[in-house]
Structure 1
Amino acid sequence: MQEDSSHSPSYTVPCDDFVHVVEFSPFSSGTPASLLAYGGNQYMVVGTCLFQEEDVEVEGVEFNVLRAFHHELRVDALAWSPESRLDRMPTIRTMARLLQADRTKKQNKKPTVTQITTHYNHGMQKSISERTARASGGLVWDLDGNESATFRLQSPGISVCWHPKEVFKLMVAEKKGTIRFYDMVTQQAILSLESELLMSADWCLTNTIKVGGVSGSDWLIWDITRSSYPQEKRPAHIDKARLFRWSRANENLFATTGCPGKINTQLIIHHLGHPQPVAIGSVTVGSGLSWHRTLPLCVVGGDRKLCFWMTEM
């Protein structure tokens, strides 16, 4: 369990308001720059990021706002459509839906999901596959807005993941500690993983057999070919852990955040080959966590800024 000996971010980008969620696009934008979106209270911003590691003419980071959206409610989740590209922007239409889940406390009653708003142009979705579906909790829709599948959950859904190499499979993690994989053709559960209460889970994009998550103050790693229980479990945060995200550039690299404290949120970058953290950071009331598509670089939202940490592979 790590003490908070924080390192400063490698780069920062100022924002006009507090950032609740931030997400790099995992798909190529068609240009050297990466697409990035962030949102907070009644707003969402879509922009491009280019780092000095990608272009020697850039000093630090170059961030350009493409579009700002305004809403009546807070933005709590973002995910990118694979169709979102900059090299064919005039001809492409992408779609975003911001969803608000009404999680009832009554037993044996499914949560309902209400559509808040829809946007066209540079788009995000709560969770999207390479093909035609998006998901939130236990409900799945096609891109025309028609509900295509319903999965009954035993507790609140806390993470939903598609995998670009397993486009007909959906991973749903529940707060009680169960992670299920569903076959979208038969709409049946085909595999389940178990743990204690979960706060977050993620499916490794560079290795389909790896799943990671956080429970209590620990991070957990599953190998789905070996057991339904975690193969590795280590303490990470002094207080409870909040988020787990795999690097998109290295299958052994991942990051976790702690639950926000009175002032700061702790970020820890881990490597499965090293017993000690690769890096520890701290963000003022930080929220959200995402990795760059090709660089070993992650971002956390904060109080009127985005904080980026670059690390070694």
Structure 2
Amino acid sequence: MVMLDRSPISEPVAQFHFKNRIYVTEFSPYECSGNLLAVGFQESILILEVRIPEEDDSIKKPEFEALREFRHDTRVQSLTWGPMTSQLVAPRCLQFATSGSDHKLRLFTTNNSQVSCKELKGHNDYINSIAYEPEVGDMIVTASDDHTARVWDSKVDASKALIHTFSLNSPGMSIHWHPYESGKLLVAQKSGTISLFNSVNYTPILSLDCCASPLLSADWCHANSLLVTAAVFAEIVQFDLSRPSLPTGRLSEHAEGCKHARFSRSTDAYIASVGKPGGSGATLKVTQHKTGLTILSNPKKIIGGGLSWHLRIPYLAVGNDRDIDLYKIAL
């Protein structure tokens, strides 16, 4: 039985400090690299290895080691990890993709000391979300403010990489491959529509209507792929794909608007969310989505650098100006 800590926790269990402002914070979602955390800045990406007491008996509180820094010609807009990333088995490799304020998609790979960066052009506005095909990482998808979602082949020449373009009715805010079935693709639009497509022939499978807008982010639950959540206006909207006609739940956690909503990767019990910046809106909350119980709240922080869950343990990393705040959710 899962026992919830019903007292909201206001402070992180660890805080990592940096010299520059943080724009992106993203844990790797893959078993061979689950302790790696990417931090995106104005002109670089820093890869950290995070050690936590639950997986390392030699430490009493979370620690990190900076593994490698990559130059980035423009501010990091979004970032996703690739499935070939591994620090546990040879050959060690880092694979990730970014978008920047110049609307380009960049694919980074390392082989020992060598770094490869491929630039893909095609979008004419901000790329809001990126996702690798989760099995081998040959394919990558993007969603953009230019009212398109695009499918790219990461292995071919940049001039031939674009495979397919989905025309959308509004800006594409989030895009995800199915966590375990690579033939399914989720695209969420700012208008409040979430669509599932066949990633082989690009035909639609089903559509979800949030019945509100603007939708600013959406997430496909890693621990239970029947669950989808979205940050829509001032609510966290939830869907169960086994009965997709209407949302199965709505949580009003951010009166001034909800910017991010992310399911925990280690359990389907928790959703982390952040309000829109401005006033008192940029508040971090973690909610037990089935009961609506808020189990963590931090109204003092101005959150601007994204949030991401650890793969195996319910730790949440939150980008906060020049700090990474690391929270632990009690089970």
Establish whether TM, by shorter chain, passes 0.5: yes
- Pairing partner for 1:223 from 234, 240, 246: 240
Shift of 1:245: 0.4
- Pairing partner for 2:295 from 278, 284, 291: 278
Match of 1:13 in 2: 16
Q: Is residue 189 of structure 2 the alignment partner of residue 174 of structure 1? A: yes
- When residues 45 and 100 of structure 1 are mapped into structure 2, their CA distance, relative to the original with a 3 A threshold, is closer
- Pairing partner for 1:212 from 223, 226, 229: 229
Give the conservation status (yes or no) of the 8 Å contact 2:25–2:308. yes
Task: Tell me the percent identity.
Answer: 29
Shift of 1:54: 2.0
In 2, Cα distance between the equivalents of 1:126 and 1:226? Answer: 27
SS at match of 1:29: helix
Match of 2:104 in 1: 114
SS at match of 2:283: strand
Q: Deviations over 1:11-52 (max 9, x none)?
A: 11111211111000011236xx70110102111101100112
Q: Could you tell me which amino acid in structure 2 is paired with residue 99 of structure 1?
A: S
Q: Could you tell me which amino acid in structure 2 is paired with residue 140 of structure 1?
A: V
The 5 Å alignment of 1:48-127 reads 48-88=49-89, 91-100=91-100, 114-115=104-105, 117-121=106-110, 126-127=130-131
Q: Could you tell me which amino acid in structure 2 is paired with residue 134 of structure 1?
A: I
Which deviates more from structure 2 when the two are superposed, residues 302-311 or residues 93-102? 93-102
In 1, Cα distance between the equivalents of 2:179 and 2:302? Answer: 34
Q: Is residue 323 of structure 2 the alignment partner of residue 305 of structure 1? A: yes
- Pairing partner for 2:264 from 239, 242, 247: 247
- When residues 99 and 158 of structure 1 are mapped into structure 2, their CA distance, relative to the original with a 3 A threshold, is same
SS at match of 1:53: helix
- Pairing partner for 2:220 from 188, 203, 222: 203
Q: Kindly report the root-mean-square deviation, in angstroms, between the aligned alpha carbons of the 2 structures.
A: 2.3
The aligned length equals: 295
Shift of 1:266: 0.9
Give the conservation status (yes or no) of the 8 Å contact 1:252–1:273. yes
Specify every segment of 5 or more residues in structure 1 that has no aligned partner in the other structure, as ranges: 103-112
In 1, Cα distance between the equivalents of 2:290 and 2:303? Answer: 30
- When residues 263 and 75 of structure 1 are mapped into structure 2, their CA distance, relative to the original with a 3 A threshold, is farther
Give the conservation status (yes or no) of the 8 Å contact 1:264–1:286. no
In 2, Cα distance between the equivalents of 1:20 and 1:101? Answer: 12
Shift of 1:95: 4.0
Shift of 1:97: 3.6
Give the conservation status (yes or no) of the 8 Å contact 1:204–1:211. yes
In 1, Cα distance between the equivalents of 2:209 and 2:280? Answer: 33
Specify every segment of 5 or more residues in structure 2 that has no aligned partner in the other structure, as ranges: 1-7, 118-128, 144-148
In 2, Cα distance between the equivalents of 1:95 and 1:273? Answer: 35
- Normalised to the residue count of structure 2, the TM-score between the two structures is 0.83
Shift of 1:6: 7.0
Give the conservation status (yes or no) of the 8 Å contact 1:162–1:171. yes
- When residues 58 and 81 of structure 1 are mapped into structure 2, their CA distance, relative to the original with a 3 A threshold, is same
Q: Deviations over 1:161-216 (max 9, x none)?
A: 11231111110000001101110122111111001111111011111111001111
Give the conservation status (yes or no) of the 8 Å contact 2:75–2:101. no
In 2, Cα distance between the equivalents of 1:121 and 1:283? Answer: 35
Q: Could you tell me which amino acid in structure 1 is paired with residue 109 of structure 2?
A: Y
Q: Could you tell me which amino acid in structure 1 is paired with residue 108 of structure 2?
A: H
Give the conservation status (yes or no) of the 8 Å contact 2:226–2:240. yes
Q: Deviations over 1:246-279 (max 9, x none)?
A: 0011112111111122588311101124332011
